[in-house]
């Protein structure tokens, strides 16, 4: 997850009611990167794919595309993740 051009590792869960991000316990000791983030689906305006943007994020996440949550408040959350095959 990217918050103000700062990255944080963790798990992203999507349910029929909300999107939940739970950060890793080993993240940097800044409060915003350790907090869980919950977005009810009613707070999400759009979900789409964002191309790499080196002007605002630097090389955080490399050349990978990201999942972008555009919120009704005007905020944006970006996620880059590895997809693991389910067996």
Residue-range domain boundaries for the chain:
2-79
Q: Would you give the DSSP letter of residue 16?
A: S
pLDDT score for 19: 92
Fold for domain 2-79?
A: PH-domain like (2.30.29)
Averaged pLDDT in 10-residue chunks for the chain of 87 residues: 60 90 70 75 92 62 77 86 60
Phi, psi dihedrals of residue 36, rounded to the nearest 5° = -75, 145
Coil, helix or strand for 31?
Answer: helix
Q: How far is CA 3 from CA 24, 30, 64, in A?
A: 15, 11, 17
- Please give the Cα distance from 76 to 29 (Å, whole number): 22
Q: What is the pLDDT of residue 41?
A: 94
State the number of CA atoms in the 13 A half-sphere of 42 facing the CB. 0
Q: What integer pLDDT is reported at residue 46 of this predicted model?
A: 94
pLDDT value, residue 18:
94
In terms of Cα–Cα distance, which of 11, 49, 9, 2 is closest to 28? 9
């Amino acid at each position: 997850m990217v918050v103000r051009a700062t990255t944080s590792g963790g798990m992203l869960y999507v349910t029929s009611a909300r999107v939940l991000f739970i950060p890793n316990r080993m993240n940097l000791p800044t409060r915003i990167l350790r907090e869980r983030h919950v977005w009810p689906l009613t707070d999400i305006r759009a979900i789409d794919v964002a191309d790499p943007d080196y002007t605002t994020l630097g090389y955080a996440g490399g050349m990978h595309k990201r999942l972008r949550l555009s919120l009704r408040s005007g905020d944006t959350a970006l996620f880059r993740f590895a997809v693991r095959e389910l067996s």
